Amino acid sequence: MSKRVVITGAGVVHSLGTELDEFWENIKAGKSGVSKIENFDASDFPSQIAAELKDFDPGEYIDRKEAKRLANYSQYAIAAAMKALENAELEVTDEIADRTGVIVGSGIGGIEVFEEQVERLHNKGPRRVSPFFIPMMISNMAAGNVAIYSGAKGPNINTVTACASATTAIGEAFETIIRGAADMMIAGGTEASITPSAVAGFGNMKALSSRNDEPEKASRPFDKDRDGFVIGEGSGIVILETLESAKKRGANIIAEVVGYGASGDAYHITSPAPEGEGAVRAMKAAIDRAGMKPEEINYINAHGTSTPLNDEYESTAIKKLFGDHAYDLKVSSSKSMTGHLLGAAGGVEAIISAMAVKEDIVPPTINFNEGGEGCDLDYQPNQAGEAKLNAALSNSFGFGGQNACIIVKKYQD
């Protein structure tokens, strides 16, 4: 690769913080963002807990009248993108607008709008359905709105690869810069799916934790007592740009993106391929793209959903690819703290991975007491640790067997 791509800004909107420093401090402290659902009455639901964004005020970022015409997932993406641009000390001026693009992933889009408008259709008739229903709901509108609010006029794309959506977005943004189609990209994911239909749907397929009496202890990746994931919401957005651009404007470089890999399981609509075969290929593709050897990876921010099959198969996949080095690796799942943000997960986790290599801090896997079957790696249990981290691999695997991985390295001139 002739070009080098670096992360110069990051923005996050999550229950653990809507400022990068606050969010990162809570991650290092092993704080859980999970609590009882308050957005609706979940008392009859199998799962009544979530990493719910309770104090978000769209009026801090968007005109309040305009915000009413934007689905929550779009609002979150705009806020995170504005924060990322601010963090990068970057303004998208007319001079750079054509060379600045946006790729934002979302697994579901404006599902709360869908629920509301379908109910209105059934109860009040077709004339009462909002004319903004479609442009609020469809999943590409987060990317479109980020461009509108930032002024970015380069490539504008929405990725929908289920829980791999944000990692796919960042990986494709990286490749967009490498091939010369843009100099800067605003990339990541956003999701707002803590709604009755989504929680009922995931709950009835037995995917969610039902540890309702202990919300903060419910997400327990790799632990033998894990019983499902905890749904989360929010957005994680990064600013990617060429190293040349970053140096020219004196940007603060958080980390360098060096690899991206993707694969398809071609196996099952929800279950991962046996022994993580698809995950192996995605991780290997990212390592090969980076021109690295497996033993050069120091840390893996695992997909680590806290579901029985994912955690076992992901651990197996790591051991298959890395061999003996798998037991020297630091592996952790930040979903133990953030919950699972579905299509936004990889955006938040890319930020965590970048901060980890920048500060040589391994984020913890909280709620880990004893490894489940096949889960015998070093998952950095319960407390953050210090370690020399040169390169981190961030994994995201989605329903439909869609897998995406990126590699971030400590920046060195």
Instruction: Give me the pLDDT at residue 403, please.
Output: 98
Q: What pLDDT, on a 0 to 100 scale, did the predictor assign at position 373?
A: 96
Spot the catalytic one: 14, 122, 268, 303: 303
CA distance 137 to 113: 6
Average pLDDT, the chain: 97
Which segments of the chain belong to CATH 3.40.47.10?
5-248, 260-409
- Check whether 55 has a pLDDT greater than 90: no
Q: 5-248 has which fold?
A: Peroxisomal Thiolase; Chain A, domain 1 (3.40.47)
Report whether 14 contacts 232 (CB < 8 A).
yes
Q: How far is CA 18 from CA 28, 136, 362, in A?
A: 16, 23, 21
Angle at 342 between CA 336 and CA 347, to 5 degrees: 80
Q: What average pLDDT does this structure show over 386-405?
A: 98
For residue 42, pLDDT over 90 is answered with yes
Is residue 164 classed as helix, strand or coil in its secondary structure? helix
Percent of the chain with pLDDT over 90: 99
Which tens digit of pLDDT belongs to each residue from 234-286? 999 999 999 999 999 999 999 999 999 999 999 999 999 999 999 999 999 99
Give the Å distances, CA to CA, from 206 to 45, 68, 86, 219: 12, 34, 40, 14
Does domain 260-409 fall under CATH 2.40.270.10? My reply is no
Cβ neighbors of 239 (< 8 A, separation 6 or more) are 7, 8, 9, 10, 84, 85, 87, 88, 90, 184, 185, 186
Q: 409 forms bridges with which residues in the sheet?
A: 256, 391
Best CA proximity match to 198, nearest among 189, 210, 208, 213: 208
Beta strand extents in 220-294 (DSSP E only): 234-242, 255-264
pLDDT band at 20 (very low <50, low <70, confident <90, very high): very high
User: Please, are residues 34 and 50 in contact by the beta-carbon 8 Å criterion?
Assistant: yes
CA distance 402 to 246: 32
- What is the distance between the alpha carbons of residues 186 and 197, in angstroms, rounded to a whole number? 30
- Contact by Cβ (8 Å): 150, 85: yes
Closest CA to 143 of 117, 116, 176: 176
Q: What percent of the chain has pLDDT over 70?
A: 100
Question: If you write DSSP's letter for every residue of 320-374 in order, what string do you get?
Answer: HHHGGGGGTSEEE-THHHH-B-GGGHHHHHHHHHHHHHHHTEE--BTT-SSB-TT
| pLDDT of residue 1 exceeding 60 | no
209-212 long-range contacts, Cβ below 8 Å, gap at least 24? 209/47, 209/49, 209/306, 210/46, 210/47, 211/49, 212/36, 212/47, 212/48, 212/49
375 is catalytic: no
pLDDT tens by residue, 194-240: 999 999 999 999 999 999 999 999 999 999 999 999 999 999 999 99
Q: State the pLDDT confidence band at 2, using cuts at 50, 70 and 90.
A: confident
- State the DSSP H helix or E strand holding residue 271, giving kind and residue range, or none if neither: none
> Is 267 exposed, middle or buried, given 0-12, 13-18 or 19+ CB atoms closer than 10 A?
middle
Two structure tokens written together for 259: 């690899």
**Residue with token string 């934790």:** 209
Tokens of 389: 């981290």
Closest by CA position to 15, among listed 363, 407, 356, 334: 334
Amino acid at 83: K
> Is residue 332 pLDDT above 90, yes or no?
yes
Q: Which of 122, 268, 325, 340 is catalytic?
A: 340
Q: Which of 14, 122, 163, 405 is catalytic?
A: 163
Task: Answer yes or no: 303 catalytic.
Answer: yes
Nearest to 320 by CA among 347, 354, 356, 284: 284
Residue 325 bears catalytic tag: no
Q: What pLDDT does 337 receive?
A: 98
DSSP bridge partners of 264: 402
DSSP 8-state code for residue 107: S
Q: Give the total residue count for the chain.
A: 413
